[in-house]
Amino acid sequence: MKMPVVVIGAGPIGLAAAAHLMERGLQPIVLEAGPNVGHAVRRWSHVKLFSPWENNIDRAAQRLLEPTGWKPPKPSDYPTGGDLVDRYLVPLASKTALHEHIRTNATVTGVSRVRFGKIMTRGRERAPFEIRYRNGAWEDSLIASAVIDASGTWFSPNPAGSNGLPAIGERELQSRISYGMPDVLGRDRSRYEGKHVAVLGSGHSAIGTLIDLTSLTEKNLRTQVTWLFRGKDLAKSFGGRANDRLKARGELGLKMEGISKNSKIAIELGFHVYRIARMEDRLGIVAESDGGARQVIVDELIVAAGFRPDLSALTEIRIELDPALECPPALAPLIDPNEHSCGTVRPHGARELAQPEPGFYFAGMKSYGRAPTFLMLTGYEQVRSIAAELAGDSAAARAVELVLPQTGVCKVTSSTSVPPAMSARADAG
């Protein structure tokens, strides 16, 4: 009997990986840490994706769904995270043959080779993988021929500190700090309404949150919003705007640009957080700058500064990562946000994702390490290629085809000015 391929994570990419493996005649076992499939997606269920349904459904997954009577959403409609779970992931996991291959509440605690520690080499590539996982209070293990880690990065957000470390005091003040994209207009509204809220970040998560908070200020005049921006040029955050081939993503940038110009929020430019202190019942957020230390006093802080991979379960396997991005080295020059801000990425698959440990692959958001430019289509093509390689069809694995919508901007050279009132606030101590 052939050993299974273990897929870590039952999000969109993990379930797509399992679907492709099944089409190739391989047996997947999907281990999901949460109680349900799409556990991470459920955390941002209120967020509307800036890519339509046609870019968010994997083809192998769709072929599994079609015989069940599943009705595909309108391709041009834009789903929320909740829609993605309810109309795609849940039917895929419950109504198809994938149902028998998914284990929830299964947190992976370690991956190794059977009888081979990390330093042992001779014969290593022939040893199967052993995957340890915890299900409630009990720990169990699986033996597998290969492992695809599609666990994502949602539960390991970057901290507020600009040097990559938590700001001094950040850990102690977690009750006033949230990460990612809280639902400020829905389930988390009472936490932020009528408060002074700071948002740290410059990507789409930060912009989406700032837009929602701005809407909250219009409903409750006591609500104040401050954007903490590490850079000095806002233009990069607005992306391709009207030139973006993903219309909704471009509209997001246009809307945020309008908000920033109309003085609806305070903006702190060049704000590099290094300390967070309790100021009676508020937070004092202190930053280093060229002109000396600055402080912003708020009620709540939302850190939307990106994510990083959690590699703690992989200490006993041999992986090679780019030293800066923590992604497979072959991907780094394609996705480095310091150099590359286009939506298009050179097609890549099993060959670029391969690790020194044969049979182990990162896929999905985790394959991008700390880079924030991942799109779901990229992950679907990754796992199609990986499944082909594991099935012995190297030709199909190498025949990677991927066309991503362009952002409309590759190098940001223009400057978006800040209105005089905001400039004064940005320079204030």
The CA distance from 256 to 390, in Å, is: 44
Helix and strand element counts for the chain (H, E): 14, 16
Supply 106's token pair.
């299964």
pTM, full prediction: 0.89
Check residue 207 and give its pLDDT: 86
Check residue 241 and give its pLDDT: 43
Supply 53's token pair.
């349904």
Q: What is the largest CA-CA distance in the chain?
A: 71
Check residue 420 and give its pLDDT: 30
Check residue 246 and give its pLDDT: 54
Strand, coil or helix: 78: coil
Quick one: which of 234, 208, 228, 230 has its CA closest to 164? Answer: 230
Domain extents in the chain:
5-155+307-398, 171-305+411-427
User: For 171-305+411-427, which CATH class?
Assistant: alpha beta
User: What is the tens place of the pLDDT at every residue in 198-251?
Assistant: 999 888 788 889 889 988 988 888 999 999 988 886 666 655 444 455 555 556
Check residue 340 and give its pLDDT: 55
The CA distance from 422 to 417, in Å, is: 10
User: For 5-155+307-398, which CATH class?
Assistant: alpha beta
Check residue 309 and give its pLDDT: 97
Answer whether 5-155+307-398 and 171-305+411-427 agree in fold.
yes
Check residue 211 and give its pLDDT: 87
Quick one: which of 206, 245, 212, 202 has its CA closest to 51? Answer: 245
Span between the terminal Cα atoms of the chain, in Å: 68
Check residue 385 and give its pLDDT: 97
The CA distance from 299 to 297, in Å, is: 7
The CA distance from 37 to 77, in Å, is: 23
All residue ranges of the chain with pLDDT < 70 are: 1, 233-263, 290-291, 340-346, 403-429
